[in-house]
Structure 1
Amino acid sequence: MDAVRRGALVRRIESGPKGEWGPSGAQKGQNRRQELDAATSEGPSDLFERLFPDQKAETHGAGLKAPDLHADLPPLPLPKFALAPAARKARKRFKEYEETGMARGALRMRDDMANQLAETSVLVLNNASPNLVEDDFRRLIPQGRHIEGWTLEQGDILRIIPGRDLATLAPLDSYFLLFSSPLSAFTYQGHVARIHDIVASHSPADIFSPIPPPAGFRIHGIDAHTAIQNFTLVPPTQSLDLRKLKTPLNSKIQSLVQHGGYPALVKRPDRMPFEARLTLEGLPLTTNIIRLILLQTAKTRALGWSGSEDLTPQLSRWKPPSSFRGAYRDAAGKWHSESHRPAYEKPDDDSAQENDEQKQRTTSPVYIVGFHTSRALQSFVHYWHRRPMEDPGTPTYGLEEGDTPPIANVEVLW
């Protein structure tokens, strides 16, 4: 506004009449312009300073910002739209599905199990590798979101019991997983199933498969790259058979839950903290001969096997339960009572003595080796597995001339 008035005044002065005796109109306009500049530089620069002289800026010439007239006014309350209970529940379920990948039916089952009484629940994994270890299962426990390596209480495993043939203690393709509550078992089962789906979908099968997901790529809150590396229960192309056993449990499963394993195995009076299963492939050796070989190798190594002051570990021969004594195994690998053996499978009287002599040479007993520490157990397994049961520096005991030493098969008994 001041600029417009100033321009009009300058034009009027410059266009005024010129006097003969006085200064010309241009000189008067120039003088007037200088006076106007001096007055403008000293006076207020805009209308706000004229109207409100008390609000003048502290520094001369700085731009003056108008105060916020709404600063002292309280904010108006925004209208609150109350969602219906069904809408709030649906929004919560949708958010949980985005985070966990659980469908509506699975979420409803989880809520129902949360209201059940806390009791031991059992999951059984079938058609799996018999060579799995405990870490293969515990790596799949649901992890916390904020702290790396923090396992959640829901989904934590109490105990893992591998299925075994009690006649030979050979591992089977089934595993029993014990949980503290039905909700914990359901959480672990759903989490492992989602990991298996991710592994089956993103694992490369041939040269035409897409590249594996990079590290940090998450699907429903699960790192796909880490899941592919840690999942070892079944191959990616095989379906996962992990199911929950319904209650009430049968007597055999209830005995496993009550004792934390097979009673004939875990309730032995001479049980050691760490044990291994030892079998011999070839000619059998007696317990004393095996103990003597272990003693000689310990002296040769100048290091004991037991993990304590004793040079030799505890060695005992496994005796099957009474239900397996006097039994035979059919072609399918199932055990039956000797009284139910078919007539065509029973040996005749003429070959009975020959079979007894052959049985003494071919029967491979099962031995349980006990240790005091886990390191001693791992050292024994690493040294003796698939190695001839002999001491190179001493004569071979229990073998006839021309016989080769038996091959030891050792595995951790857990």
Structure 2
Amino acid sequence: MLSARALPPPFLLPSWTARQLAAVFTQQRRTVYRTPSHGRSKSNHKNKNKGVEGLFGPRKEEYKVPRAAAPKSLFEELFPEERVEVKSEDKPTPKKRKQLDKLPTFQWQEDTLSQSPGGLREQQQRELKREQAQWGMSVEPLHLSPATLERIRQLEEQERREASVLVLGSASKTLEESDFFRLSPKGQHIEGWTSGIIKIIPGRDPQTLTPLGHYFILFTSYAAARAYFDQIIRLHTLARTHPVSKAAIVPPPPGYLKPGEDVESLVRGFSLVPAYSRLSLRQLNKPYQPAILKLLSNGGPTIIARQKSGAEDMVLFSLEGGPALTELDVLKLLEDDGRRRNLLWRLAKEGKVVKLKDKNENNELGSDGTRPLRLLNVMSRYVVSFADRYEARRFVREWHRRPCPLQKEYKLGDEPPPIVSAKIMW
């Protein structure tokens, strides 16, 4: 038997026997590795994880593995500050989807009215008036009295009479107003500012209105006309000495170019006359001759045609190599083309199509009571007036140099269809 000193103190010995400790460890091991069964009740399933009293107090609950976070989109990875947290209240539920407003029923009668030209026009006018009333704008269009229009016409005529005139001859017949305004000397104080040109009157035949290749350029003062004259001379010289297709042999002398100018861009923008041709540009001195005064007073053949037709935007329409058509035939041709493209051309209210009299066309009877033979190469010309300039330009893009189908089918041996020439009158 051991002595009392060899035994441990009493507080170091457990209060349980070895058998009791073995039973406790065995029960604890079974509780930890036990798996829930489908046949047990919910109460047993809840109570199975409460733990068992062990040596160091009650056992803690099982460790739960946290769920993996949802993968982020590429937008959320690149822009995390722009991410919007969607609340559970904002998420659509089946009940909320049912409460969404349905689309209104289709109004067949209103849609049918809006498809017609008159109904669509009325609907657009109502929407325009509603928008103008919302912004406090004047709903009624501006109507000038005849006295005011006459006063404006007199002021324009007086301005043309007092203008300084440059005459450009031997030029192309297809120039536009932009070809002249583009070459104006630029302002030194305001970027993109040009001044001086009042109007450009292209020379036309009084009867056929065909361009003749010369232009009258009207300026506000003699100094503006002289500055434009020097600019044209300088650009034509650059175009001759520095062609775009070839490298320049001799560079321009110092001081010939203004600050910020490029030789290539200047030469490309000069299109009044070819670089290899002779420039015909002269300035008229006052007082002008009676023919020039008459031209300045009435504004040229284009303005006279506008006054006769009552429209501002006109197109010179001609057929090359075709029979002579009446005004009604041309109008029917345009209406058929509008039906083909499913969009009628918007013509002017008055003077839609006016036929011009040709010099070679003589319908008077001769001395023997017979009509003279009509030349086969006579070109029939017409003036077609449109509602605005945009519609006139669309018509030119659609019809210029296009075969005109005068009959539905062409058979072998028939004459080819005539070619249309459509040009803006300005």
Q: Residues 149 and 139 from structure 1, CA distance in 2 versus in 1: closer, same or farther, beyond 3 angstroms?
A: same
Q: 1:121–1:245: 8 Å Cα contact kept in structure 2?
A: yes
Instruction: Choose the corresponding residue for 2:263, options 212, 224, 234.
Output: 224
Equivalence for 1:275: 314
Instruction: Choose the corresponding residue for 1:372, options 384, 387, 394.
Output: 387
Alignment gaps of 5+ in structure 1? 1-117, 328-337, 339-347
Equivalence for 1:64: none
Instruction: Choose the corresponding residue for 1:135, options 169, 178, 183.
Output: 178
Equivalence for 1:317: 355
2: CA distance, partners of 1:239 / 1:404: 39
1:407 aligns with 2:422: no
Equivalence for 1:302: 342
Q: 2:311–2:351: 8 Å Cα contact kept in structure 1?
A: no
Q: 2:396–2:422: 8 Å Cα contact kept in structure 1?
A: yes
For the pair shown, which has the larger CA radius of gyration, 1 or 2?
A: 2
Equivalence for 2:69: none
Q: Which amino acid aligns with 1:381?
A: V
Equivalence for 1:144: 187
Q: 1:297–1:391: 8 Å Cα contact kept in structure 2?
A: no
Alignment gaps of 5+ in structure 2? 1-160
1:305 is displaced (CA, Å) by: 1.5
Secondary structure, aligned partner of 1:188 = helix
Q: Which amino acid aligns with 1:255?
A: K
Secondary structure, aligned partner of 2:309 = coil
Q: Which aligned pairs between 1:9-408 and structure 2 lie closer than 5 A?
A: 119-151=162-194, 153=195, 156-204=196-244, 206=246, 209-210=248-249, 219-221=257-259, 222-262=261-301, 265-266=304-305, 268-282=307-321, 283-306=323-346, 314-319=352-357, 353=370, 355-356=372-373, 358-359=374-375, 363-390=378-405, 402-408=414-420
**Structure with more contact order per residue of length (Cα contacts < 8 Å, sep ≥ 6):** 1
2: CA distance, partners of 1:413 / 1:219: 35
Listed one character per residue, the Cα deviations across residues 354-382 of structure 1 (whole Å, up to 9, x for unaligned) are 843x44x6543310011122221111111
Secondary structure, aligned partner of 2:308 = coil
2: CA distance, partners of 1:255 / 1:384: 34
1:209 is displaced (CA, Å) by: 4.6
Secondary structure, aligned partner of 2:175 = coil
Q: 2:352–2:386: 8 Å Cα contact kept in structure 1?
A: yes
Equivalence for 1:110: none
Q: Which moved more, 1:190-199 or 1:157-166?
A: 190-199
Q: Residues 390 and 212 from structure 1, CA distance in 2 versus in 1: closer, same or farther, beyond 3 angstroms?
A: farther
Secondary structure, aligned partner of 1:387 = coil
1: CA distance, partners of 2:162 / 2:371: 55
Q: 1:318–1:368: 8 Å Cα contact kept in structure 2?
A: yes
% identical aligned pairs: 33
1:406 is displaced (CA, Å) by: 2.3
Listed one character per residue, the Cα deviations across residues 224-257 of structure 1 (whole Å, up to 9, x for unaligned) are 2321121111112223211101221112211121
Q: 2:244–2:267: 8 Å Cα contact kept in structure 1?
A: no
1:388 is displaced (CA, Å) by: 2.4
1: CA distance, partners of 2:172 / 2:406: 33
2: CA distance, partners of 1:366 / 1:302: 26
2: CA distance, partners of 1:223 / 1:162: 30
1:267 is displaced (CA, Å) by: 5.6
Q: 2:171–2:272: 8 Å Cα contact kept in structure 1?
A: yes
1: CA distance, partners of 2:345 / 2:213: 30
Q: Which amino acid aligns with 1:228?
A: V
Q: 2:326–2:355: 8 Å Cα contact kept in structure 1?
A: no
2: CA distance, partners of 1:354 / 1:386: 32
Secondary structure, aligned partner of 1:292 = helix
1:280 is displaced (CA, Å) by: 1.0
Secondary structure, aligned partner of 2:272 = coil
Secondary structure, aligned partner of 1:140 = coil
Q: Which amino acid aligns with 2:292?
A: I
Equivalence for 1:46: none
Question: TM-score scaled by structure 1?
Answer: 0.55
Q: Residues 362 and 200 from structure 1, CA distance in 2 versus in 1: closer, same or farther, beyond 3 angstroms?
A: closer
Listed one character per residue, the Cα deviations across residues 117-149 of structure 1 (whole Å, up to 9, x for unaligned) are x93111000111111111100001110235431
The Cα RMSD (Å) is 3.6
Q: Which amino acid aligns with 1:176?
A: F
Q: 1:126–1:173: 8 Å Cα contact kept in structure 2?
A: yes
